[in-house]
Amino acid sequence: MNLNELTIKQAAEGLRKKDFSSVELTEAVLNVIKDKDKDINAFLSVTEELAMKQARAADKLMADDEKINPLIGVPVAVKDCILVDGVRCTAGSKILENYIAPYDATVIKKLKEACVVIVGKTNMDEFAMGSSTENSAYGMTKNPYDLEKVPGGSSGGSAAAVAANETIFALGSDTGGSIRQPAGFCGVVGLKPTYGRVSRHGLIAMASSHDQIGPLAKTVEDAEFVLDAISGIDGFDSTSVSKDRRPASWRGSPKGRLDYSTHSGQSSLKDAINELNNNSLPSAPLKGLKIGIPDEYFAEGIDKQVEEKIRESILKMENLGAEIISVSLPHTKYAMACYYIIIPSEVSSNMARYDGIKFGKSQSANGEAQNLLEIYLKSRGEYLGREVRRRIMLGTYVLSAGYYDAYYLRAQKVRTLVKQDFEKAFEQVDVLVAPTSPTTAFKIGEKIDDPVKMYLADAYTIPVNLAALPALSMPCGLADGLPVGLQIIGRHWDEKTILAVGKIYERNSR
């Protein structure tokens, strides 16, 4: 196996055993970026100088045995809406083409403390508005499984980079599925944490009540390593919470690792998690676990082959001892309309700062604008893309006098109903299992001119964000040679269970 193909766990073991150095691992990753990314376009910036400096520092620390953790010396790629001090951050937009981040996002600060190696910034839909990465101002990213297909969005660059082994893991952001959907399309693992689990400080905002940073990785266990490193309360983000904000049955180990072995009332599941690092598992590792299957996620619109793969996965979980229960989320049918009222409303507010004066490129520099209003209009019209302008206009309309109560306020009430649907379901079950997306990756250009069809690619991920729940997407097979994503949804603050179930399913699917 080539070094760039390693998982976090494999890389960490190799580094500790001195089988290779962080410099060698980083060089392997940078070389494959140089070789492959001209075809994939997963990266907007490659930070080779920074990466090599960090790799040398990590090797020194490991030589001195001063700092050992699972992420030390391991390369990461970062979505280009997350600030890295001194590195260009465009959010996939021309209006931020020359913006250099003046500080580190909190997640980057935490990763630097863990001594990771940052190899570059990844492509994305402009300001995270899109489901295919075709909305980037710097060219589309292509799916490594099929270069004629999209990688999903908006974290398409991060997902493609992991799938193409151009990095060991990556960071993305998820507002309506932007980690999970591209993870599903590219055949990698993507974790959207509970809203508030990870600080949003230093994330260029799209919709502040939905945005959440999370990992894209090659295995569920790798995603767990990253979550442990980046989660926790942050004084710069009032919505963030302490790691201790979690169910009473979930406790951290003395070394700070998250302990998933204390799931209450499920002795077989406990045994299974305790045995995950060994070569054997109990014969029924999911015994006692109740898995809910939402009827609404298997309705009209789902691709037949995708449904077959998901049904096969559900059967496998049942064979592993889980109890399968049909549940209903009746307000799912309203989630899409609700989301596309609330999100544009928050977009219109967050995007107001990009006016050619406070942030971004300005048309005043070339003398075309004659007054302040013209600077605003020309700068935004010239440097913001079509999808961004569409959402700004929609959000401004929804929030305008006479329409607030009819649209925005009503959408917030529907959001509450969606959340209550999940709460009722979790009274019966421990997790929900569903498709990540109704289809596999679609052709480049197939949906770009039809926003409604494009939005439907996130039909199964959006409700999770409306309810602020944690969810995991992991690969569960191929349909016509393209990956199918399996989504595991958990209660608030209960990443422990979805990760545990994901790891057991992954171990039994090899």
Active site residues: 79, 154, 178
Half-sphere exposure of 304 (CA within 13 A, CB side): 0
Sign (positive or negative) of CA dihedral 132, 137, 139, 144: negative
Checking 274-278 for CB contacts under 8 A at 24+ apart, the result is 276/221, 276/503, 276/504, 276/507
CA atoms of 76 and 264, how far apart (whole Å): 35
Q: Could you tell me whether strands 290-294 and 471-479 are parallel, antiparallel, or unpaired per DSSP bridges?
A: unpaired
For 391, residues 6+ apart whose C-beta sits below 8 A from its C-beta are 129, 343, 344, 347, 348
For the record, the structure tokens of 312 come out as: 């096969």
For the record, the structure tokens of 470 come out as: 């944690």
> Most distant CA pair in the chain: distance in Å?
75
CA atoms of 120 and 127, how far apart (whole Å): 18
CA atoms of 378 and 380, how far apart (whole Å): 6
> Which residue, among 211, 165, 213, has the nearest Cα to 186 in the 3D structure?
165
Instruction: Map tokens 């689990």 to a residue.
Output: 197
Look up residue 278 and give its amino acid: N
Neighbours of 101 (CB within 10 A): 18
CA atoms of 411 and 459, how far apart (whole Å): 16
Region of residue 241 (phi > 0: left; psi between -120 and 50: alpha; otherwise: beta): beta
CA atoms of 133 and 185, how far apart (whole Å): 12
